[in-house]
A and B are shown apart, each in its own frame.
Chain A
Amino acid sequence: MLSLQYQSETFRKDVSDLLRYIIRRLCLMVVLLFGVSVLVFLISHFVPSNPAAANLSQTALNDPEIVAAYEAKWGLDKPVWEQYIIYMKNILVNHDLGTSIRTGRPILDELKQYFPATLELSIFAMLIAIVLGVTFGVISAIFQNKPIDHIVRAVSVSGVSLPSFWFALLVMNLFCSVMNIFPSGNRYDARLFAPNGGTGLYVIDAISWNNWPLLSDVLAHLFLPALVLGFFTMGLITRQTRSNLLEVMSSDYIRTARSKGMKESRVVWRHALGNALVPVITVSGMGFCNLLGGMVFVEKIFSWPGIGQYAYLAAVNLDFPAICGVSLLIALTYVVVNLFIDILYGVIDPRIRYQ
């Protein structure tokens, strides 16, 4: 009876701690997003150029009537502070991120279109990075200073030092042009599939529609860009896993486990790896955020219609609403990923408390 009561109280306390922690992080997130919106709005408006010049033809620019109509339509004739107030009012009251100056489409619709492509690519890049990174890290630690350790370390150093555009061109030439075993770009075979609805995460869509040829086609298109994008993070994870595992393997409790006659594989996988992985999760979280930075090049080379290319086009065309929308989305992604990682700590290490 006492035990049940104790368990119930512990559960209530855990729930309360976790909720309090999440609410605090969410409050901080609102402050952060507000700061991001102010900064991005100001910086983009003080760039020495103007959207009318970036988006109107030369003949149109010669005509003051057209320029005036254009500026009035997009609110560019108002002071920056007034534009910002209108922008924030639309977000808070109408839940509307505005309309793209470049395309004339609602920003929310555009983000919904482009973000799933980037999210799918990022998730697969992280999967490749974590699976390969942890495996290589373990192999490297177990076979410390053996030839295989040197090979794995060389691969991981390549991962963190090779420019992603160069690596992308290399794998495209090798796997698509010379060997012809992977498609050279885009998300699917145009003759096989026309996107229409679903989540926009085509792997999930193909599974939910039981369309296995589509699934295999989508995975084939995903592999190379995900490999290129995940290669840098894989290098980081390999190095981190190796050094952590070597440190843990020299701990007293590992020595104790060995002295009890436990098999080496069990010592590594059961006792050492769990503890060695906690810092790896931090690296993975940072790696995920780094992926977004490398996204523009990889999306460009593999013709991947994601948020990186959208952000680039928004920037060069001074599409203020789109620039702000992308910035808020990326900031939100950073915050959510970090929150996710922080919660995951608790899963890996029971000693960590949400405070």
Chain B
Amino acid sequence: MKRFLALLLCVLMVVALLAACGDGTQGNVQGNVQSDAQDSGESSDQAGSTTVVIGGQSDLVTLDPGNMYEPYANMISYAAYDMLYRVQTGTMGTPEPSVATDYTVDDSGLVYTFKLRDDVVFASGNPLTAKDVVWSVNRVLNMKESNAYTLIKIVDKVEATDDYTVVFTLTEPDASFLVKLTSNAYCILDSELVKEHGGSDSGGDTAKEWLDNNSAGSGPYIIESWTPQEQLVLQKNPNYWGEAKNIDTIIFREMTSVDAQITALKNGDVDIILGLNTETAKQLEGVDGITIANGPTALMTFLVMSRDEALSPEMSNPKVQEAVRYALDYEGYLALGGEGCTVPLNFVQQGFSGGLTRDLSTDGRDLDKAKALMEEAGYADGFDITLTCASNNSEGLEWTTIAQKVQQDLAEININVKIETLETTLVYEKMRDATMPFYIMFWSPDYYDINNQTAAFLPGVGEDGTAYGNRTKWERTPDNEILWELANQVQVETDEAVRAQLSEQLQQEYAKDNPLAFILQHPKTFAFNSNVFDNVTYNDLCKIELCELNVK
């Protein structure tokens, strides 16, 4: 009897567990059989519909444009929503008109007036008008705890003067305003639809939960379903106002392992993979029907040398810091980074206004100069220093590999580097506390304009360790005031040619003295099935440009 009771209890526990997991609804089976097309490595085509599968690790945590911030956020927001301006294909954030046809800005640089297209409709069938733009902007303006708010807080007020005219008044002149307009913060939402699901433009918005599983935009695709860390399904928007592509369904699969992505691409389970780097891409070299491609990114890796004498009297010396820049074997780092890597002169990457690369023929490694600088600084015999390195990587290039190369390079000028590897979040914390004399770090912008770089890298910036001026204890002084003067001009200059010139001048001045050594700007490596696509375009804001995808 006791055995019967015990057995019964065990069965009940299992049944209760299963019942607790379930919600009683049925699943959605997309198809019962895989098509022959997939087996032959072509995109799946079931009952005349075309499905493309992308494998990668997105770390998406929300699909609400007002809350998005993650690196892959704009890949999805560009597929499902429109903005007034969008990033031009294949560029690093160059804005081009989308829903807006053109704009004017007044003499004060504060008032921007945009004319809107009159043929844009949302997926719901509602027409997109100026009131939707105003509502969408005001919604994010009232979400102060959101990352998206940082890009929109420059807006003092936004008004619709008629159905197809929107006027933005800024709090201060900002030459990067058009670039900011291309981000997910400025996605135009179907205000009527979102209001029905808790949306508000005056605070207390509760539409996030609905927007995490649906879209309310006018982009070429609509969000069909999303299971975080599992997959996201986009369906063609039947009411799309622009030129439609020939793909009906795009599935983004979360694949946390690069090996799994590579195998899945080889086997035809996915059509595009995003998680490659120079090393792992070698596994796909020469594989029939697979193309390996590179796209430029704004990610750069650099060495940070604190000016805090208490941390290291030797490494904080500006002459030693310059010696380090001359001692680095840039050609060697380019070889480590692989095809598509460049060496930025300093804090403005290629693709940004006036971005300069280091001229390695005249300004590359120069050990004689480095040794002379060490002697001038009084450290001809060298010194010992700890290089802190997080267990992290830049587009797959491990920081420990970079650290070993730095150790080897600096040994040539008698700097004895001891490598200390720590957990990433701990390094970030120490960085904000400004307690490391010498460390490796990377940086990528929050928006694609040089104003973002100046806010991060100028002397004195970043209270409480939020930017590199404060993190390195590099003070703003009359000697480096020229950097601030130039940056202030860049901030408001709207003529692109003049702005690029100012930017170049700023970088040349910055190169004369700074506490950083910029090593690499990295490319993004990805691969696709060339039986399915002729080409796959990439830009760093949207990653894969889903709107441009067309199957053969």
Q: Residues of A with Cβ closer than 8 Å to B?
A: 7, 10-11, 14-15, 18, 22, 47-49, 53-54, 56-66, 69-70, 72-74, 102-105, 110, 112-116, 119, 169, 172-173, 176-177, 180, 183-187, 189-201, 204-205, 209, 211, 213-214, 299-303, 305, 309-310, 313, 316, 318, 336, 340, 343-344, 346-347, 350
Contact = CB atoms under 8 A, between A and B. Distances in A.
A185 B255 contact: yes
A52 to B, nearest CB: 10
A301 B262 CA distance: 12
A138 B44 CA distance: 47
A70 B51 CA distance: 39
B259 A63 contact: no
A178 to B, nearest CB: 10
Interface stretch (B222-230, B406-414, B526-534): B222-230
B257 A301 contact: yes
B6 A343 contact: yes
Nearest to B34: A191
A305 B227 contact: yes
Contacts of B22: 198-200
A213 B33 contact: yes
B21 A191 contact: no
Contacts of A65: 144, 153
Interface string B22-56: 11111111111111001000001010000101000
Given A198-B25, A343-B6, A192 B34 contact: yes
Interface stretch (B352-360, B421-429, B499-507, B543-551): B421-429
Contacts of A192: 29-32, 34
Contacts of A110: 228
B424 A60 contact: no
Given A59-B446, A104-B62, A350-B2, A53 B432 contact: yes
A192 B34 CA distance: 7
A159 B149 CA distance: 52
Nearest to A205: B27
17 contacts: A48-B429, A61-B466, A74-B145, A103-B61, A183-B264, A190-B53, A191-B53, A192-B32, A192-B34, A195-B28, A197-B24, A211-B29, A213-B33, A301-B260, A305-B227, A336-B13, A344-B6
Given A48-B429, A305-B229, A57 B69 contact: yes
Contact of B6 (A10, A300, A346): A346
A185 B260 contact: yes
A14 B27 contact: no
Given A201-B18, A299-B256, A343-B9, A177 B1 contact: no
A103 to B, nearest CB: 4
A347 B29 CA distance: 40
A346 B2 contact: yes
B145 A300 contact: no
Given A185-B257, A194-B224, A200-B21, 9 more contacts: A7-B1, A58-B456, A59-B446, A105-B228, A184-B259, A211-B27, A211-B32, A303-B253, A309-B256
A60 B147 contact: yes
B429 A53 contact: yes
A172 B258 CA distance: 12
Contacts of B67: 104
Given A57-B147, A301-B257, A183 B269 contact: yes
Contact of A15 (B5, B34, B44, B257): B5
A313 to B, nearest CB: 8
B5 A18 contact: yes
Contacts of A176: 260, 263, 267
B257 A303 contact: yes
Contact of B208 (A104, A173, A309): A104
Contacts of A193: 27-30
Interface in B227-273: 227-231, 233, 251, 253-257, 259-260, 262-264, 266-267, 269-270
A249 to B, nearest CB: 25
Nearest to A304: B256
Interface string B146-171: 01011101000000000000000000
A73 B203 CA distance: 13
Given A61-B466, A102-B61, A104-B61, A66 B144 contact: yes
A66 B367 CA distance: 46
A48 B433 CA distance: 10
Nearest to B462: A62
Given A184-B267, A198-B27, A201-B18, A303 B428 contact: no
